[in-house]
Amino acid sequence: MPQKNNQYLSEIDILKCIAIFFVINYHCMYFEYAQRSTLLYTIRYFIYTLFSTCVPLFFFINGYLLLNKPFDIKKHLIRCLRILIITSIWAALGLILFKITGHISLTSHEILNKIFTPDKSPVAYTWYMGTLFCIYIFFPLIKAAYDTNYKAFIIFVLTIAVMTFGFTFINQTGGIFLSLKHGRPQDFYISFMGMYNPFKETYAYTMVYFCAGGIFCKYKEKILSVPSIKRNLISVTVLFTCWTLLFLSGIIFSHAEDSFWDSVWFGYDTIYTFVNVCMLYILSLNFKSVNKIIKTIAGNTLGIYLIHPILIQLLEPYTTDTIFMYSWVFNIVYTIAIFLISLLITLVLRKLPVINSIVKL
């Protein structure tokens, strides 16, 4: 279903709001693993697990918006260049700020390297922008297949899905089985297809989310043709089931390894999270009204995404070692505060002509 110019997509706005709120929750929620046997810890961890849909939702949304629109090579190249420049500038500013405030001690050469390889640095969250840029490099070919040879496009997407989500599922299932059988942590990892797998040790699974967004947009009317009660019941049931399965996997791995297993970060490339992203989209179709608050948040998600980790990092010396950070109530208040401050800063920055381009995409 091709998108009409300036068509308002209420389902996308609500998904953007959910995604950015989940991202901030993920970064603001603290756990003390010593409390893992308590009921409160278990409930919090269960809720935390749903946040694995946060960044995948953004990749899904990108595909949803781009794959069903006419392709303009000039606009696409400008978009790619813009992402590269914006992300590099923002990462550089962040690293310089953290160096000035004493949060990091890197040389100028190391800062330059971290701009393009942000792993294990305060600006590691820019991995999303870098991965999106990589998807955009292949987008002209993906779009051509989508428009002219849909069968080839589907085969391509399924191949990536099997080599990412599928292999992760087998390895995690094997690890769970062996850990339960032996009563202690058991490694189970097979590099399926080895050198014949072009998608190993990459973020290739994000391309599946991206392409899935376009596919679901294509069949939006068919999805809506299913009676809403039936559609919602199936979606909620499937969502809760996959959410629970990922949660149980996390509990098993946490106990087996006697340490916190991050069900969000390690959940990105799981079948459970992929299905949950699709179910959240289907549920978002119930939202059909135009809400000014939601529209404002949705229009500023990139700015919020870029700004909130900096606030968290700057506040870390005053929050990490406090007992309050391990309180559920404080986590909620802290999340809301970071969210509102990030939104306010974004709205202010958008009034500045040059910086406006950095917080808007």
Angle between helices 271-284 and 205-218 (to 10 degrees): 30
Q: What residues contact residue 346 under an 8 Å CB cut-off, 6+ apart?
A: 300, 303, 304, 307, 359
For the cut 90, the answer to whether the pLDDT of residue 107 exceeds it is no
State the residue for tokens 């992203």.
277
Q: Which residue has the higher pLDDT, 22 or 112?
A: 22
For the cut 60, the answer to whether the pLDDT of residue 215 exceeds it is yes
- Buried residues in 122-139 as b, exposed as e (16+ CB within 10 A): bbebbbbbbbbbbbbeeb
Mean pLDDT in residue range 330-348: 92
pLDDT of 300:
94
Q: Which of 57, 46, 50 shows the shortest CA–CA distance to 19?
A: 57
For 302, the enclosing helix (H) or strand (E) is helix 301-319
pLDDT of 155:
96
pLDDT of 54:
96
For the cut 80, the answer to whether the pLDDT of residue 240 exceeds it is yes
**Diameter of the chain by CA atoms?**
61
Mean pLDDT in residue range 168-186: 75
Give the pLDDT band (50/70/90) at residue 276.
very high
pLDDT of 193:
73
pLDDT of 321:
66
For the cut 80, the answer to whether the pLDDT of residue 231 exceeds it is yes
When the pLDDT of each residue in the chain is averaged and rounded to a whole number, the result is 87
Give the pLDDT band (50/70/90) at residue 358.
low
Q: Give Rg (Cα) of the chain.
A: 21
pLDDT of 25:
93
For the cut 80, the answer to whether the pLDDT of residue 35 exceeds it is no
- Over residues 66-75, the pLDDT tens digits come to 999 999 999 9
For the cut 60, the answer to whether the pLDDT of residue 285 exceeds it is yes
Q: Which residue has the higher pLDDT, 5 or 235?
A: 235
Give the pLDDT band (50/70/90) at residue 293.
very high
Task: Report the range out of 32-41, 118-127, 132-141, 253-262 with the highest average pLDDT.
Answer: 132-141
For the cut 60, the answer to whether the pLDDT of residue 260 exceeds it is yes
pLDDT of 1:
53
Task: Report the range out of 108-112, 189-193, 213-217 with the highest average pLDDT.
Answer: 213-217
Give the pLDDT band (50/70/90) at residue 5.
low
CB 95 within 8 A of CB 114: yes
State the residue for tokens 């409390």.
35
Range in 80-94, 173-187, 252-266, 301-315 the model is least confident about: 173-187
Give the pLDDT band (50/70/90) at residue 38.
confident
For the cut 70, the answer to whether the pLDDT of residue 183 exceeds it is no
Q: Which of 38, 231, 70 shows the shortest CA–CA distance to 146?
A: 70
Range in 127-141, 265-279, 342-356 the model is least confident about: 342-356
For the cut 90, the answer to whether the pLDDT of residue 119 exceeds it is no
- Over residues 184-205, the pLDDT tens digits come to 655 666 677 777 777 777 799 9
Q: Which residue has the higher pLDDT, 106 or 34?
A: 106
Q: Which of 221, 209, 84, 66 shows the shortest CA–CA distance to 144?
A: 66
